[in-house]
Amino acid sequence: MRNIGILLCALACSLCETFAQGYKNPVIPGFHPDPSVCKAGDDYYLVNSSFQYFPGVPLFHSKDLVNWEQIGNCLTRESQLNLKGANGGSGIFAPTIRYHEGVFYMITTNVSGKGNFLVHTTDPKGEWSEPVWLEQGGIDPSLYFENGKCYMVSNPDGYINLCEIDPMTGKQLTPSKKIWNGTGGRYPEGPHIYKKDGWYYLLISEGGTEVAHSITIARSRYIDGPYVGNPANPILTHACQAGETNPIQGTGHADLVEGTDGSWWMVCLAYRIMPGFHHTLGRETYLAPVRWDKDAWPVVNGNGTIQLDMNVPTLPLQTVKQKPETITFENKQLSPEWMYLQNPDMQNYEFKNGNLRLKATPVSLNEQKSPTFVAIRQEHFNMEAATSLELKDAQANDEAGISVYMEYHSHYDLFVRQNKDKSRSVVLRYKLGELEHIEKEMPLNSKGNIELNIKSDINFYYFGYTENGIYHELGKMNTRYLSSETAGGFTGVVLGLYSVSASTQSKAYADFRYMKYKGE
């Protein structure tokens, strides 16, 4: 009887976990903005914008809309993604993902390239097609399929435009038609079309992707309008009394999806604020339930706001594989969340003897180019990160380390440097706009691997290093100087391993043994 009781208790615990109610926002933390979602059978797929980072458009999979696992990136080849000269305000803007008759489509804008394009695949985990370039301009394009036709919406000249296209060739089949310009908020963008109960619904973002961000919606009996706005617009915003004290701000740029049980859900971007209304982690992916009665307007989470703790019914929850706290390089490949600045020269990246080897080049982190640099996103205010590296064959002023990086003009660098007298130092340096300064440097007594350590809370980054098992503190830097409000751009802080040479004659390289990341 005792064994039966134990089994029943274990089964009950398992069922409670599977059908647990509620979840925590953001569902995809860190720099994961402009989410778009689609359903294919019992599976959900989600994409985000990626700006100057390569590969482009991270791709996630889920069974429950709460737990997401990155399974790849849509744009993995330079022929798909030219990022030369891109920064945190250019490159790949908001994508849309759609599934139709066995084919996945991803449509987006390369602001640094030729504009709007789409790619497709029958296997989202595999390679996506070469780009199909589109005629209609604007940004944030989206697709809608119906009766053998494919429609595209985007926002040229600040007005939502509709046209019919051939998604395989990119040919525009009908003239662009203006169908709605929102409720009067600035930057009407991020359009998506849905059909429900005989109505065409047009969902857009307004107000800009800062504090005034909001989601509005209109509908029509005809796909090309006229569209009439919801009298209760906006249907999601925190630029209101109900949301003004919320730790989540900037809610907007959303997409809707119907669950396998008939429920409706919205994914959107927002950011978690720090003191002074700053944010460093970038715009993140959030989830909210939607009540959408027949012939009625959708209502987001009851009152058009969202919370960090969402005590609402969910789809049956299914856990996904968690990312390891220590990333090693023994399997000779990087997982999909790693990313490079612009288009990398892959000859500078190598797996050797269980290490990630980064060959130093004269391109520094201060240039709007592609240095030898590969990064993961910071996803938590409170986190610990570390890497162990050995700098080899170095000449004077060659360096390698880890950068807390927001933009080429805004980063904190912790690195090992080769000195003129052939000694080595650990250096803490900052670059903030026109200001560049070595905050502290400490001589090293050994020539082997050095562990570089970074911790953070909501106010500061703390820097140090470990040599021969002894930890040495170097100093701290204020988080707000790397915030979007100070540094600008549309991205978030990333933690990048890098190697830079002081001259073209240098043959220096750095072997990185691991990357640790732990957040809470």
Homologous superfamily of domain range 23-314: Glycosyl hydrolase domain; family 43 (2.115.10.20)
Asked if 262 and 287 touch (Cβ cutoff 8 Å), the reply is no
Quote the DSSP letter at residue 14.
H
Percent of the chain with pLDDT over 90: 95
Tell me what the mean pLDDT of segment 182-196 comes to.
97
Rounded to 5°, the CA angle 77-271-213 comes to: 95
- Decide if pLDDT at 440 tops 60: yes
- Decide if pLDDT at 452 tops 70: yes
> Which member of 64, 140, 164, 189 is catalytic?
189
Cα 407 to Cα 494: distance, rounded to the nearest angstrom: 9
Pairing of strands 228-229, 214-220: antiparallel
Q: 31: helix, coil or strand?
A: coil
Among 12-21, 263-272, 319-328, 436-445, the least confident range: 12-21
- Decide if pLDDT at 40 tops 80: yes
**E strands, 319-469, in order:** 326-328, 339-341, 349-352, 355-359, 372-377, 383-392, 399-407, 410-418, 424-432, 435-443, 450-456, 460-467
- Decide if pLDDT at 490 tops 80: yes
- Decide if pLDDT at 18 tops 80: no
Cα 417 to Cα 237: distance, rounded to the nearest angstrom: 48
Tokens of 130: 């070469």
Asked if 281 and 30 touch (Cβ cutoff 8 Å), the reply is yes
User: Residues spanned by CATH 2.115.10.20 within the chain?
Assistant: 23-314
Tell me what the mean pLDDT of segment 59-79 comes to.
98
Residue 7 pLDDT level (bands cut at 50, 70, 90): very low
Tokens of 428: 């803490």
pTM of the shown model: 0.95
The fold adopted by the segment(s) 326-519 is Jelly Rolls (2.60.120)
> Which member of 34, 164, 255, 399 is catalytic?
34
CA-to-CA dists, residue 306 to 1, 216, 389, 505, angstroms: 46, 15, 42, 55
Cα 115 to Cα 133: distance, rounded to the nearest angstrom: 8
Residue 10 pLDDT level (bands cut at 50, 70, 90): very low
- Decide if pLDDT at 357 tops 90: yes
Cα 515 to Cα 496: distance, rounded to the nearest angstrom: 10
Which pLDDT value is given to residue 20?
A: 54
| Amino acid sitting at position 75 | L
Active site residue 197: no
pLDDT in tens, 127-167: 999 999 999 999 999 999 999 999 999 999 999 999 999 99
- Decide if pLDDT at 444 tops 60: yes
End-to-end CA distance of the chain: 41
Mean pLDDT of the chain: 95
User: Residues spanned by CATH 2.60.120.200 within the chain?
Assistant: 326-519
Active site residue 34: yes
Which pLDDT value is given to residue 17?
A: 44
Tell me what the mean pLDDT of segment 262-269 comes to.
98
